[in-house]
Chains A and B, each alone.
Chain A
Amino acid sequence: MAEKEIIDNIEGEYKYGFTSDIETETIGKGLSEEVIRIISEKKGEPEWMLERRLAAFRHWQGMKLPQWAHLDIPEIDFQDIIYYAAPKATKKLGSMDEVDPELKRTFDKLGIPLEEQMALAGVAVDAVMDSVSVKTTFRETLAEKGIIFCSISEAIKEYPELIKKYLGRVVPHTDNFYAALNAAVFSDGSFCYIPKGVRCPMELSTYFRINAEGTGQFERTLLVADEGSYVSYLEGCTAPRRDENQLHAAVVEIIVEKDAEVKYSTVQNWYPGDENGKGGIYNFVTKRGLCHENARLSWTQVETGSAITWKYPSCVLLGDNSVGEFYSVAMTNNYQQADTGTKMIHIGRNTRSRIVSKGISAGRSQNAYRGLVRVAKGADNARNYSQCDSLLIGDKCGAHTFPEIDSNNPTAVLEHEATTSKISEEQLFYCNQRGLSTEDAVGLIVNGYAREVLAKLPMEFAVEAQKLLAISLEGSVG
């Protein structure tokens, strides 16, 4: 089988590589207390929020870039980044018709069902164009149930008590370099609050999109599921093609109160750079959830984008009987680098966690799983099962596994398994013989390999994710 051909053809064109021309309001490059004051002022924030930002900034100044990941990160000049960009809002938008036609076209090209079909799809979308929320839909439907779903800037003004109570509680600004940076300069993001005992009637979703050239994007998401509530939250991202690297340092915090359940699904397909490794997004994300008694948090991610991914959605299992799950497919091609995984911190008794990670590396990419399972002293009867598989396509890529198990309680039962495999020539031959093209065969095999994770996604996302895997692999096999 012509494996060389397989490799030679790894150059799937990035489907969403276009730029939309929307007037963008930006401030100058660089970061200082002054810049933070401007950001806060432009957003019309209260004084306490500014104080929080400044505290984070001062802390960040004393921090060093983390170096432990299996990533080769070009030096980032944090003074050469624009920290605020918003589409110029000439006036308040009353209806969909008032949205900039160019912006609408952008969303249409992405296939975001922002208009009527959303009602049919049962999806409420808080679409983020660069850093400011432009349009939020289905607020009324949700409001009937007492569910709050809005941009975080709005929430800061309208629900200051909730924000003060929860923001920074799971990921404090002291947590890590990028979390501190985010806490200082976060532009916008989503806030979601599900009241006690409420089952959110629809999948909540947000589409992030990086648009303005040379703009760092610092999303902040806060999701609170109060006692006994349930929500499934979808986060999907596409970004237009750029030659310059763009920095993205988001923070997602989730609080799952007693008896509540949260499913958080992500499909990430930001611009990964071209086939020579030029351009692409740098994605440094901190995602963490705190689970109280009997709570359940499930992270599902399909990562195919970004030039560099540094991301470890984690669960702090604080309450007794709480459950954490992490299902991940991470695919890298060309010169992409990914260092992703999870942390399961067992603190409460009878806590359980499950990790299923499927890495796929093609081209000259490097794909690493990094995981930590920690069982605290008082976490009696903690259980974890981890499975981390790697699939290699071609002999120029790398697949790595860096798990750590740290058990401080002898009633813990923890298991970790990992395998590494390639797509065998026999498999390809068999598929070819039954009439499949090699590319289809690879798509089939890869989707089969990732099925356990894809099955965890909500239906409409699963289809998109399958397509994405195929697109990202385009040309990786001859």
Chain B
Amino acid sequence: MGLLDYLQEQGIDLESSGGIVTAADNSQVEVVINPNNLDVTVAENDRKSVLVLHTKADSSRMVFDVHPCASLRVVDVYLGGCFAESVVRQQAGSVCDITSVVTSGAVVDYMVDMNGKQASNALKSIFLSRGEEYCKVAVRVNHNYSDCTSNSLVKGVASGKSKGEFNGMVYVAQDAQRTDARQNSRNIELGGEAKIITKPQLEIYADDVKCSHGATVGQLDSEAILYMRQRGLSEMQARRLQIEGFAKDIVYSSSAFGDVLAEELNRFLEEI
């Protein structure tokens, strides 16, 4: 069952602006559909889960304010070619997990501001582009205070004649000592005319920091395909399994919607 079917089954009118659902892990999740402007505030020590669904070509600006020691989970799904900008402002001790799935030619921009000590952010995103789409995910994490942790993992799959792009930046301010920032960009190009551009950047002004980033662009592992074919899988199946394996940790980083997001992934794979 895909995400849309699932939401409808949960009683959400897809033409409306959203509602509340009880997710697979029994958490209450606020569902927001195609917002042009969205402001979400999580009060001190409170917790919140939000699912934002973008199904059409539109623009969207979202602001997430996470107050001290509050916790926010965001699942941000792009099934339409949306231009989106998300600003996450995290105060001391807050935790924010973002899962982002982009299966359409969308341009998605995340800016995370660490505005207090010991805040932590984990962002996992996958973008899949096909046909002649252009798909871009940008992530900027500003470590403005000390002792914060951020971990961004953005995976891209470009097929057909499409172009996928990642633009990342980790900024560490001068006083932001003991920052632990990680950023990773992993990409696969499928087919002769697909393009990938990736820019994993660091700008660091503090010395007691652990910052690392990595980027790879490659294709499916031909050895692994050979191995799977030896066990009787067709080349198509082997390729698909590998892409699924590549993308899976991202979609399942959302405990609440892992299965339905995996189904969206499958649908994408069926069509390429």
Contacts and interface: CB of A to CB of B under 8 A. Distances in A.
Contacts of B11: none
Interface stretch (A139-147, A347-355, A394-402): A394-402
B200 A403 contact: yes
Contacts of A397: 205, 207
A418 B189 contact: no
A416 B191 CA distance: 22
A414 B204 contact: no
Contacts of A417: 212-214
A176 interface: no
Nearest to A385: B216
Interface stretch (A14-22, A148-156, A322-330, A404-412): A404-412
Task: Please tell me the size bucket of the interface on B.
Answer: 20 to 34
Given A418-B212, A420-B210, A405 B202 contact: no
A400 B202 contact: yes
A405 B212 contact: no
A358 to B, nearest CB: 14
Nearest to A382: B217
A398 B200 contact: no
A405 B219 contact: no
B217 A405 contact: yes
A265 to B, nearest CB: 27
Contact of B201 (A392, A402, A412, A422): A402
Interface in B210-227: 210-219
Contacts of A70: 203
8 closest A-B pairs (Cβ-Cβ)?
A: A410-B189, A392-B207, A420-B211, A416-B215, A401-B202, A414-B217, A407-B217, A422-B207
A211 interface: no
Interface string A104-142: 000000000000000000000000000000000000000
Given A398-B204, A414-B216, A405 B177 contact: no
A416 B214 contact: yes
A405 B166 CA distance: 10
Contacts of A414: 215-218
Interface of A: 70, 377, 390, 392-422
Given A396-B174, A405-B196, A420 B189 contact: no
B190 interface: yes
Contact of B216 (A390, A392, A416, A421): A416
Contacts of A421: 210
B204 A418 contact: no
Contact of B219 (A377, A413, A416): A413
5 contacts: A404-B199, A406-B196, A410-B190, A413-B219, A420-B210
A415 B215 CA distance: 6
B194 interface: yes
B197 interface: yes
Given A403-B200, A404-B197, A398 B214 contact: no
A246 to B, nearest CB: 28
B163 to A, nearest CB: 9
A417 B202 CA distance: 12
A410 B207 contact: no
B4 interface: no
B204 to A, nearest CB: 5
B130 interface: no
A400 B202 CA distance: 5
B199 A402 contact: yes
A410 B215 contact: no
A50 B56 CA distance: 60
Contacts of B206: 392, 395
B180 to A, nearest CB: 11
A398 B176 CA distance: 12
A398 B194 contact: no
Contact of A420 (B193, B194, B198, B209): B209
A407 B196 contact: yes
A379 B255 CA distance: 41
Given A400-B201, A404-B197, A420-B202, A410 B211 contact: no
A147 B205 CA distance: 48
Contacts of A407: 187, 189, 195-197, 217
B217 A392 contact: no
Nearest to B197: A406
A321 to B, nearest CB: 20
B140 to A, nearest CB: 13
